[in-house]
Amino acid sequence: MGGSLTLGENVEIGFQDLRDSLLEGSPVIDLLIADLYINATAENPLRITLEDTPDSITTDLFRYINPGMPLNHDTSWSGLDVTGSSFKIRIPDKLENSSFEGEKVSIEAEYRAREDSNSVNISQCVFIADTVRFEQEQNVWNSISRSLVTGHFENCFRILDRITFANETGTAVENIRRNAVIMNSFFFGYDTLVSGDSSFIDYSAYLNMEDQPVFGRNVTVGENFLGERNPRFVDPDAGDYHLQSGSDLIDAGNPDSDPDPDGTRADIGAYFFD
């Protein structure tokens, strides 16, 4: 049993030494993690590794790493890097530049973020898991954008924009929110793209499906759905889904969407070509 919590290259705390304090709810640990997290950024992330750690410790750990702590009143997180087997994490109303890797990752909104509808927004994140599930009522989750998902999404957002979904089989987006919109997104693999009721998909594409793409009941496919396209990923076998020159996804997104950071028309997928 063990694990570590690392900030940049210089600070590391072993979970085994903190086990009893975490389970007892020690205020010392509360303050320590708060202080560390305040300094986390995308360039200098807070890295948390959970190895052979019981769910009870995982749950208690993430109860402390949340924006409700006395020393951390921010409602935005950036630079969180979590690796484990199966875990749950509570997030504020904005999450960006973070990554989560495990067999099953459960995300729930921090208490204050649940007070308003469509309050939680996620961008530029990576989810590497068999299943990524978003807890609570669906009306909490507003948008997810510019993110990579290798696995299956459950209980989703009002808006899914510029997402790369990559997996061999199964369903990419399950139990999708009613009237959700999927735009500028790419599906690499899978048997079924979207399973849910009364959602809309357009300016999106797919590759590596044995048959024609399958959609759930009452999913409306827009007239600009691009069908099968070659993304020309850099190295998908190694998990690199950036685009190479000549990709069919470059400048192929919705012309009414916000332009890419380089000022050009939206590319399809999580990573724009520069």
State how many domains the chain has: 2
Which pLDDT belongs to residue 111?
59
Per-residue pLDDT of the chain in tens (274 residues, 90 and over written 9)? 334 444 444 444 444 334 444 444 433 333 334 444 444 555 666 666 654 444 433 433 443 344 333 333 346 777 777 777 777 777 778 888 888 888 888 888 765 555 666 778 999 999 999 889 888 666 788 999 999 999 888 877 899 999 999 987 788 888 777 788 999 999 998 878 888 767 899 999 999 766 667 787 788 999 999 999 999 999 998 999 999 999 999 999 999 999 999 999 999 999 999 8
Q: In terms of domains, do 226 and 258 share one?
A: yes
In whole angstroms, give the CA distance from residue 30 to residue 22. 9
Both tokens of 177, joined, read: 């929110």
Question: Where a domain ends, among 112, 131, 153?
Answer: 112
Q: In terms of domains, do 93 and 194 share one?
A: no
Which pLDDT belongs to residue 22?
41
Which pLDDT belongs to residue 77?
74
Q: In terms of domains, do 120 and 27 share one?
A: no
Which pLDDT belongs to residue 149?
94
Question: Where a domain ends, among 112, 133, 153?
Answer: 112
Q: What are phi and psi of 237, to 5 degrees?
A: -65, -25
Q: In terms of domains, do 72 and 129 share one?
A: no
Q: In terms of domains, do 145 and 248 share one?
A: yes
Q: In terms of domains, do 90 and 134 share one?
A: no
3-class DSSP string for the chain = CEEEEEECCCEEEEHHHHHHHHHHCCHHHHHHHHHHHHCCCCCCCEEEEEECCCHHHHHHHHHHCCCCCCCCCCCEEECEEEECCEEEEEECCEEECCEEEEEEEEEEECHHHHHCCCCEEEECCEEEEEEEEECCCHHHEEEEEEEEEEEEEECCCCEEEEEEEEECCCEEEEEECCCCEEECCEEEECCEEEEECCCEEECCEEECCCCCCEECCCCEECCCCCEECCCCEEEHHHCEEEECCCCCCCCCCCCCCCCCCCCCCCCCCCCCCC
Domain span including residue 15: 1-112
Q: In terms of domains, do 108 and 157 share one?
A: no
Question: Where a domain ends, among 86, 112, 138?
Answer: 112
Q: What are phi and psi of 244, to 5 degrees?
A: -100, 165
Q: In terms of domains, do 68 and 135 share one?
A: no
